Amino acid sequence: MAELILHHYPESPFSEKVRAIFGAKGLAWRSLQVSMVMPRPATIALTGGYRRIPVLQVGADVYCDTALIAEYLDGLGNGPSLYPAGHVLAAQTLARWVDTELFWAAVTLRFLPENMGGFFTNPATAQAFAEDRANFAQGAQVRRPSVDEARARYARFLSEMETQLGDGRPYLFGADWSIADFSVYHMLWFIHAGGGMAEWLGARPHAAAWMERMRAFGQHPGQPVSAEDALTAARDAQPLAIEQTSDLPGIPPGTEVNVAPVDYGVMPSHGTLLRCDTDGIVIRREHALTGAVNVHFPRHGFSVTRY
């Protein structure tokens, strides 16, 4: 198998989810740190337009969105499955709620003045970030909650989490971790990275102990790789053979399509449709810097339209 190359930046909460999964599964990985703001020429050459972070590159196959990245990584490495049979529906439902509803509360809370910490190194960085995210938000179908609403949402969630963990279980659904643990972890990691809300966890000892267990997984950094070497890895590899199928009426395999998130960051990726079914979406792309690559997306939360 080709090396696992994560395109990410240190402050990215969704990247922390994947970094923690790497640690929990004992997986070696390469770290391609990208800018917190656009442009990201190497990553965009691979994805064809999709600009959310992180992106996982495995040779000439590129996996977008942490829901899909986690599914791919689950079959690798050590330890229990992220999707335990007895709890898969509950774990997946909680993970999706955290990655959407709790995420926007987390954004509101993380950028409170008293909780900013060292997120921005200087005013110019803060201005560049604000301008980049304003462009990123164009066409978004989500609403960021007010401070009061975000505080109430997070307080309720923490109280329920404290109760769930109160019987001494090490993880949210019992003795083993699930995808829900990693989704909740990266959101709490983001909220508390600024240091201004430490008392929220301090008042909930079971949640705080769980947080320290999960935080330990994220302490295993990848080996650095350059953008040039990542692009070379794509050019030197052959994309996976994909069984071509489509469940979309009027959009068969071979159709030129755009694939885009449906909620925010709706910039599309353009390519030739190889597969679209309940397991996911795959398009084939060609670029001078990468050669032929497959770009993979989850089905949930993404749209496919004719180009």
- For residue 140, pLDDT beyond 90: no
CA nearest 299: which of 2, 6, 96?
Answer: 96
Q: Can you tell me the distance from the alpha carbon of 172 to that of 230, in angstroms, rounded to the nearest whole number?
A: 36
Q: Can you tell me the distance from the alpha carbon of 141 to that of 134, in angstroms, rounded to the nearest whole number?
A: 14
What would the pLDDT profile of 97-134 be if each residue is shown by its tens digit?
Answer: 999 999 999 999 999 999 999 898 888 888 989 898 88
Q: State the distance between the two ends of the chain, measured CA to CA, in whole angstroms.
A: 32
* CB within 8 Å of 166: residues ≥ 6 apart: 206
Q: Which domains does the chain have, with CATH numbers?
A: 4-78+222-306 (3.40.30.110), 88-217 (1.20.1050.10)
What would the pLDDT profile of 14-67 be if each residue is shown by its tens digit?
Answer: 999 999 999 999 999 999 999 999 999 999 999 999 999 999 999 999 999 999
DSSP letters for 134-186: HHHTTT----PPPHHHHHHHHHHHHHHHHHHGGG--SBTTBSS--HHHHHHHH
Helix (H, G, I), strand (E, B) or coil at 302: strand
Q: Indicate the pairing of strand 55-58 with strand 61-64.
A: antiparallel
The helix or strand, by DSSP H or E, that contains position 233, with its residue range, turns out to be helix 227-235
Residue that has been written with the tokens 């330890």 in this structure: 79
